[in-house]
A and B are shown apart, each in its own frame.
Chain A
Amino acid sequence: MRSRLETWITAVPNLKWNLDELFGEGDRLCAQFTFTGTHRGPLRDGRGNELAPGRKALRIRGVGVYVVDAGKIIDSSIYSTSAPSEARRGRRNSCASPTPGQPRYGMAIEVRHLTKVFETGRRRSLRRVEAVDDLSLTVEAGERVAYIGPNGAGKSTSIKILTGILHPTRGEATVLGVVPWLDRRRLAARIGTLFGQRSLLWFELTPRQSYRMLAAIYGLDRAQEQARVGDLAELLEAGDLFDLPVRNLSLGQRMRCELAACMLHEPEVLFLDEPTIGLDLLAKQRFRELLVRLNTERRTTIFLTSHDVADIEHVAERAIVINHGAVIYDDDVTAMRRTLLSTKLVEVGLSEPAELPTIAGVSLLEHSATAMKLSVDTTTTSIRCVLDTVLDGLPVVDISVLDPPLEQVIAAIYARPRR
């Protein structure tokens, strides 16, 4: 294993390297190494992307991961490099995020065959629970993804693995090219997390005082901190809240300040777990708009977990549904309704009371003197056929065809078996 690595790394001249850790079982291993040195010519990572394009010589330092199977490197990633001027500014800069507003390309999250088994009980009554079971998914940088599933589906466990809090039992995952459980702190500098139930702010203090502490943790100097707080005040329209004690803020106001707290270090990926829980309707709406704005203006990847269907509908472009620890659905949110349910709703406005003729596959949901609501099973009868019958046989003044509510769609997905 070591000689294989040596062969590969020595192909890049002038580098000193060190194998730090080796994980895995049998032939399948994951090796983490650090390297330093001066590299001349274009330097590419494991996926062929050129690091620091245009530089003739590059003083580099970083960490790499190789996944090795039966003595062959089947995957590799170098997730930290530093140029001379950056190196002088310290290690943090080696993983600094792109300038705000700059597009972010590539894969934000890659998960392959991830499995987490918890063992509970004592030796004789040992029980194995597969919280995550062979989970595979990818999220591209800049996507807005809803990661949903019923309680106990494995969402929290997989998010804990992706943020580095938890080791998986098997499988591979990278977030921004970093293996989370191997280098949790380095990843923490590049991601933001907001868990609806847990505050990032101190109640006795003002948000601005809390931001100063958080900025120090994330290695920002005072000038950077002040610039970013000012920037976020403008973006989140929350500048007037930053100098009030947190305890005096409403929940909606506090959540805007919490969002600023988790955006302070300009994370490339934002993990949000039930961020709108407890907010009133207007506050929820505003919070969702802010998330979309963050994504569109800064290209921050949004990975959102929520049981609130409106969060999914208004924030996410794509939905990944998991149940029993595995992905059971992964597609655009807009496609969910259309492709998943064979039911359409037809709302009909009438000029005078009328009775609905019998049509196969159509059931009457609501009926009044001037309106009726029909449910159409499109596998039995086509919408065109229903519309023709209704328009010919009833005194129609208005008619509309609707998709069923998203709740109904999601409930149908939850009920599906694993793929």
Chain B
Amino acid sequence: MTGNRWAGEAARTAALRVLAERGGLAVTLVFYVLVTVVLASLWRAAVGANGGSVAGYSVVAITWYVAMTEATTVSIRQRLISDVGRDIGSGAIAVELLRPAPVLGVRLAGELGHVLPRLAACVVTGGVLSTMVSGPPPEPAALALALPSLVLAVACNLAAQYAFAGAAFWLRDAGSAWFLYQKLVFILGGMLIPLEALPDWMHRVASVLPFRAMSYSPARLASGHFEPVLLVEQAGWLVLLLAGAAAIFRAGERRLQVVGG
């Protein structure tokens, strides 16, 4: 009805908000550096103790891996599922229904605009940190693929979080969903441990779930593995997750229209 200029403007407005809150961005970066340094140190020690490689990751590779998984996680608003769920449960989302643009579309575009400046800041900082601590990226061509993969990763994560948060249309409280979701991304998404280092059965489970598209894929690429298929896989998951979130929100909005907020 109104064209799609709203998507660009929603992203732009959210990015402006992040840049207006420079203190918040600085705190995010400090937190990112701390967590990355601690995790990278632990992994470097483990790799050193294991003869210079764990599950095929060298010291340089694991440092870049950790820097990228943390960038995808830290750049996304924490407790997003709970916040969105609260907006749905409290009826605050009703105000957004009074606009001639899709609620989910505007929100997702806004979240992406919120994430991208933070992601850029984290990736640049993480790149500098990894180069200083361990050395340059193991495979520049793979790193080039990691850049679009990072964007796809956060987009998949946001779409999945909105799909989870949509439960609040029925449950009124999506807070518990956030706890479960976070742990799934940490473990099955390869945020804490590269998927190759997981037990075989768990690796197989993780390979058929969308969580690996949210963290593992860009980290795998940045750690020197030139595997373009990961991008295709991410794009596929993004389409599915967006379709799922859209279906849940459509059903949820219909329910809200019938039973009230």
Give min CB distance, B8 to chain A, whole Å.
7
**Total contacting residues, chain B, CB less than 8 A:** 29
Whole-angstrom distance between the alpha carbons of A333 and B98 in the complex? 29
- Given contacts A198-B92, A204-B21, A205-B16, whether A90 and B258 have CB atoms under 8 Å apart is no
Any B CB within 8 A of the CB of A276: no
Q: How large is the interface on A (under 10, 10 to 19, 20 to 34, 35 or more residues)?
A: 35 or more
Interface of chain A, main secondary structure: mixed
Please give the distance in Å from A37's CB to the nearest CB on chain B.
21
Whether B13 pairs with A205 at a CB distance below 8 angstroms is: yes
- Is A195 part of the contact surface with B, judged by Cβ < 8 Å? yes
Give the chain B neighbours of A412 by CB distance below 8 A: none
Tell me the dominant secondary structure on chain B's binding face. helix
Partner of B100 from A167, A188, A212 at Cβ < 8 Å = A188
Chain A residues with CB below 8 A from B2, complex form: 92, 189, 216-219
- Contact: B97 with A165, CB < 8 Å? yes
Cβ contact within 8 Å between A216 and B98: no
Given A193-B98, A202-B13, also A216-B8 (CB < 8 A) = yes
Is B229 in the interface zone, CB < 8 Å from A? no
- A216 & B100 in contact (Cβ 8 Å cutoff): no
A33 to B228, CA, bound (A): 48
List the A residue with the shortest CB-CB distance to B259.
Answer: A118
Inter-chain contacts of A205 with B (CB < 8 A): 13, 16-17, 20
- Chain A 187-209 per-residue mask, 1 if CB under 8 angstroms from chain B, else 0: 01101010100101010110001
Q: Does B6 lie within 8 Å of A202, measured CB to CB? A: no
Q: In the complex, which residues of chain A have a beta carbon less than 8 angstroms from the beta carbon of B257?
A: 164-167, 181
Residue A307 is within 8 A (CB to CB) of chain B in the complex: no
Partner of B260, one of A118, A163, A200, A212: A118
Quick check: is A245 within 8 A (CB to CB) of the other chain?
A: yes
Chain A residues whose C-beta falls within 8 Å of the C-beta of B98 in the assembled complex: 163-165, 184, 188, 191, 193
Which of A193, A200, A209 sits near B16, CB closer than 8 Å? A209
B192 at the interface (CB under 8 A from A): no
Interface string of B1-37 (1 = CB under 8 A from A): 1110110111011001100110000000000000000
Proximity string of chain A (233-248) to chain B, C-beta cutoff 8 Å, 1 when within and 0 when not: 0000000000001000
The answer on a CB contact under 8 Å between A166 and B20 is no
> How far does the alpha carbon of A167 sit from the alpha carbon of B261 in the complex, in Å?
12
In the complex, which residue of chain B has the Cβ closest to the Cβ of A190? B100
Q: Do residues B95 and A216 form an inter-chain contact, with CB atoms below 8 A? A: no
Kindly list chain B residues whose C-beta atoms are within 8 Å of the C-beta of A157. Answer: 260
Task: Check if A209 sits within 8 Å of B13, measured CB to CB.
Answer: yes
Please state if A164 and B97 are interface contacts (CB–CB under 8 Å): yes
Cβ of B260 and Cβ of A160 under 8 Å apart? Answer: yes
Q: Which residue of A lies closest to B101 (CB)?
A: A217
Q: How far is the CA of A205 from the CA of B113 in the complex (A)?
A: 14
Q: From residue 68 to 112 of chain A, which have CB atoms closer than 8 A to chain B? A: 90-92
* B99-A212 in contact (CB<8A): no
Cβ 8 A contact of A216, one of B6, B20, B258, B261? B6
In the complex, A217→B97 CA distance in Å? 12
B121 within 8 A of A: no
- Distance A218 CA – B259 CA, assembled complex (angstroms): 27
Q: How far is the CA of A198 from the CA of B261 in the complex (A)?
A: 15
Task: Name the residue on A nearest B19 (C-beta).
Answer: A204
Confirm or deny: A39 has a beta carbon within 8 angstroms of a beta carbon on chain B: no
Q: Kindly state whether residue A210 has any CB partner on chain B within 8 Å.
A: yes
CB distance from A154 to the nearest CB of B (A): 12
CA distance A91 to B2 in the complex (A): 8
Residue in A closest to B93 when the chains form the complex, CB atoms = A165
**Is A186 part of the contact surface with B, judged by Cβ < 8 Å?**
yes
Contact A185/B1 with A166-B260, A204-B21, A217-B106 known, Cβ cut-off 8 Å = yes
Most B-side CB within 10 Å, residue of A91, A210, A213: A213
Q: Which of B20, B95, B100 lies at the interface centre, i.e. has the most chain A CB atoms within 10 A of its CB?
A: B100
Contacts of B17 in A (CB 8 A): 202, 204-205
Residues of B within 8 A of A165 (CB): 94, 97-98, 256-257, 261
A219 near B260: Cβ-Cβ < 8 Å: no
A157 and B261 alpha carbons, distance in the complex (Å): 10
Residues of chain A with a CB closer than 8 A to B260's CB: 118, 157, 160, 166
Q: How far is the CB of B88 from chain A (nearest CB, A)?
A: 13
Residues of B within 8 A of A118 (CB): 259-260
A218 contacts which chain B residues (CB < 8 A)?
Answer: 2, 99-100
- If the complex has contacts A165-B257, A204-B17, A205-B13, are A217 and B1 also in contact, measured as CB distance less than 8 A? no
Bound Cα distance from A202 to B16, whole angstroms: 10
**How far does the Cβ of A353 sit from chain B's closest Cβ, in whole Å?**
60
Please tell me which one of the listed residues B1, B13, B94 contacts residue A219 in the complex, with CB atoms under 8 A apart.
Answer: B1
Q: How far is the CB of A263 from chain B (nearest CB, A)?
A: 14
Contacting residues of chain A (142-178) with chain B, CB-CB under 8 angstroms: 157, 160, 163-167
Task: Encode B91-132 as 1/0 by CB contact (under 8 A) with A.
Answer: 010110111110000100000000000000000000000000
Q: A91-B1, A166-B257 are in contact. List 7 more A-B contacts (CB 8 A).
A: A92-B1, A165-B94, A166-B258, A181-B257, A205-B16, A216-B8, A217-B2
Residues of A within 8 A of B (CB): 90-92, 118-119, 157, 160, 163-167, 181, 184-186, 188-189, 191, 193, 195, 198, 200, 202, 204-205, 209-210, 212-213, 215-219, 245
CB<8 Å pairs between A and B, sample of 5: A165-B98, A184-B98, A189-B1, A200-B95, A213-B9
8 tightest Cβ-Cβ pairs between the two chains A and B: A219-B2, A216-B9, A213-B13, A188-B100, A216-B5, A204-B20, A189-B100, A216-B6
